[in-house]
Amino acid sequence: MLKPRALEAGSRVALVAPASPFTREAFDLGIAELTRLGLEPVYDASVFATEGGYLAGAAALRAEAFLRAWEDPAVSALLAVRGGYGSAHLLPLLPPARLRATPKLFVGYSDNTALLSFLTCQCGVTTLHGPMLDGRLAVGEAAYHRPSFEALIGGRVPLVLEPDALRVVRAGAFRGRLYGGNLSVLAASCGTPYACDPPPGCVLFLEEVNERPYRLDRLLTQLAQAGVLARAGALVFGEMRGCDEPSGAVRAHDVIARVAEGFSGPVLTGFPSGHTTGPAWSLPFGVDVTVEAVTAPRIIIEESPVG
């Protein structure tokens, strides 16, 4: 895996919009928070483009802005302003050789899973499943977990992550390279040249929002039948916010428990990264982590995502 350089005080972070548009208010609030963290946000006018009512500009425009920031030697990282939809449009327009030539840290989640997975699986560049501007940094520390974000962009490892909500579904311990992201986006990539393709012996993190239990079952079945789940030695699920039936008769946990019955390694649930009700914690993709599913469950980031 190629590792981008670590961020430090004054590092320039390019704000990119690979998916959906956003409000200027959220954008400005997010810039203020990045500045408060000691980083220097940079962007160009294309970030404010819109197309079709749900896209942040034409695919070519978004891809060109992404590559322009990626290849700028003064930029240390790229951070997505928002998820929504559209990141997959960029993948055919991003040459892996160019991305590998000047690796940068890309930060995002939700629909940006398409880019996170592409960069880690197809390009061999480490990434960060972390806060975007809209809805997270724009809100402040009530919406993102500052300690994990700052530690990982700065390369401060080993890092022990023990959120209170983390629960054991299947006991055990396993060490492997971490991959994953949003479940719907990963499932949608199956059958494409950009499919989620982690190596055997990996740790797989899966998170989702507002998908009913039967839909979670369908998405997980798709990953299982595509052979993705079989490559994992450990599974870590997110908070799965809004994924229980409204009546409470069937829960997301019930689906996860059924998956765990046929899985040989440890399984955790409730890790608050991505779509969370509280502060979203950051997770590095493409580096070694240890999953400890014991009395006090935790994830230990053994390797830094930045060099």
pLDDT number for residue 134 = 97
- Tell me which residue of 74, 80, 118 sits closest to 99, measured CA to CA: 118
Q: Quick check: is 87 catalytic?
A: no
Residue 66 amino acid letter:
F
Catalytic residue among 148, 275, 292, 304: 275
Angle at 224 between CA 204 and CA 126, to 5 degrees: 30
Catalytic residue among 33, 207, 208, 239: 207
Strand pairing category for 288-293 and 172-182: antiparallel
Distance in angstroms (rounded) separating the CA atoms of residues 185 and 7: 28
Q: Where are the alpha helices (DSSP H) in the chain?
A: 24-36, 59-70, 96-101, 113-117, 146-153, 183-188, 213-225, 252-261
Helix axes 213-225, 252-261, angle to 10 degrees: 30
- CB burial of 211-242 (b: ≥16 within 10 Å; e: otherwise) equals bbbeebbebbebbeebebbebbbbbbbbbbbe
Catalytic residue among 11, 110, 273, 282: 110
pLDDT number for residue 275 = 98
- pLDDT-derived band of residue 254, with 50, 70 and 90 as boundaries? very high
> Which tokens is 77 given?
């990282």
Per-residue model confidence as pLDDT tens digits over 50-82: 999 999 999 999 999 999 999 999 999 999 999
pLDDT number for residue 266 = 98
Other beta carbons within 10 angstroms of residue 45's beta carbon come to 7
Phi, then psi, of 92 in degrees rounded to 5:
-70, -15
Distance in angstroms (rounded) separating the CA atoms of residues 165 and 280: 12
Q: Quick check: is 110 catalytic?
A: yes
> Which tokens is 205 given?
């993190």
> Which tokens is 260 given?
């765990």
Average pLDDT over residues 118-133: 98
Per-residue model confidence as pLDDT tens digits over 83-100: 999 999 999 999 999 999
> Which tokens is 277 given?
């009700």
Strand pairing category for 283-285 and 127-129: antiparallel
pLDDT number for residue 239 = 98
> Which tokens is 279 given?
């502060």
Tell me what the pLDDT averaged over the chain comes to: 98
Average pLDDT over residues 108-128: 98
- pLDDT-derived band of residue 123, with 50, 70 and 90 as boundaries? very high
Q: 3-state secondary structure string, 119-157? A: HHHHCCECEEECCCHHHHHCCCCCCECHHHHHHHHCCCC
Q: Is 93 helix (H, G, I), strand (E, B) or coil?
A: helix
Domains of the chain by start residue, with CATH: 12-153 (3.40.50.10740), 159-301 (3.50.30.60)
| CA 280 to mean position of chain CA atoms | 11
pLDDT number for residue 140 = 98
> Which tokens is 264 given?
């040989």
pLDDT number for residue 180 = 98
Distance in angstroms (rounded) separating the CA atoms of residues 252 and 214: 9
Per-residue model confidence as pLDDT tens digits over 38-56: 999 999 999 999 999 999 9
Q: What is the DSSP letter of 241?
A: B
Residue 198: in which H helix or E strand, if any?
A: none
pTM of the predicted model as reported, rounded to 2 decimal places: 0.98
Q: Quick check: is 20 catalytic?
A: no
Per-residue model confidence as pLDDT tens digits over 257-298: 999 998 999 999 999 999 999 999 999 999 999 999 998 999
Residue by residue, DSSP assigns 40-65 as: EEE--GGGG--BTTTBSS-HHHHHHH
pLDDT number for residue 289 = 98
